Amino acid sequence: DVKVTQSSRYLVKRTGEKVFLECVQDMDHENMFWYRQDPGLGLRLIYFSYDVKMKEKGDIPEGYSVSREKKERFSLILESASTNQTSMYLCASRPGTGSSYEQYFGPGTRLTVT
Amino acid sequence: GENVEQHPSTLSVQEGDSAVIKCTYSDSASNYFPWYKQELGKGPQLIIDIRSNVGEKKDQRIAVTLNKTAKHFSLHITETQPEDSAVYFCAATYGNQFYFGTGTSLTVIP
């Protein structure tokens, strides 16, 4: 079974703090994604990565950065957390093109910025 | 980019009845359409998917239909059970990017 794990289920941070959200997948997937999920807005893509050290902006990258130094790990960084970044953050991974299209999601990290 | 609209946002059905959730998409290049179920406190999980060269797919009580001309696809759940209660998301994809609908909260009333 594919497993995508996220470092924290719940996180509370203060405005202005630098926040790291970690995601690890164990199936050697090339592609990894970070989404945020807000009521009424569905899942919105923040960043994705199709290879180590490669990254692409999604629909809402402002205020976020990412790092992928190893294939299995994809980190989301909030450089200076703000209250409007309070949300559920979901990480996902997917095999490279040519195989299954399915995205596998982690359990999510609920971040509260006060 | 792609725009996916999903309706209804909430749906309540009696146990044993059918539930239908509909999505429309805007980009005719989209070629893969998954449906995800998200239970409380968990990440979304794929329940069924369909590719653009297929019009319908069924897996036990769950089916998905795709109308490429009209650019819409639907999820059908028959003989609903309380454990079907969850939030359901549709998505349309082209290449690496998945575009999700806003979700439907389904409640099955015993």
Helix, strand or coil, per DSSP, at residue B62: strand
Sign of the torsion angle spanned by Cα atoms B39, B42, B43, B45? negative
The pLDDT of A34-44, averaged and rounded, is 92
Residue A98 pLDDT > 60, yes or no?
no
Judge whether A25 and A3 are in contact, CB under 8 Å: yes
Quote the pLDDT of residue B29: 87
Q: Look at A24 and A39; give whichever has higher pLDDT.
A: A24
Task: Establish if A46 touches chain B: CB-CB under 8 angstroms.
Answer: no
Task: Establish if A93 touches chain B: CB-CB under 8 angstroms.
Answer: no
User: Given the structure tokens 């549709």, which residue do they identify?
Assistant: B90
The pLDDT of A43-67, averaged and rounded, is 94
Contact B34 A101 (CB under 8 A): yes
Which residues on chain A are in Cβ contact (under 8 Å) with B6?
42
Each of the 110 residues of chain B gets a pLDDT tens digit; together they read 788 999 999 999 999 999 999 999 999 888 899 999 999 888 999 999 998 888 999 999 999 999 999 999 999 999 999 999 999 999 998 777 889 999 999 999 99
Residues B41, B27: Cα–Cα separation, whole Å: 32
Which of A15-19, A61-65, B90-94 has the weakest average pLDDT? Answer: B90-94
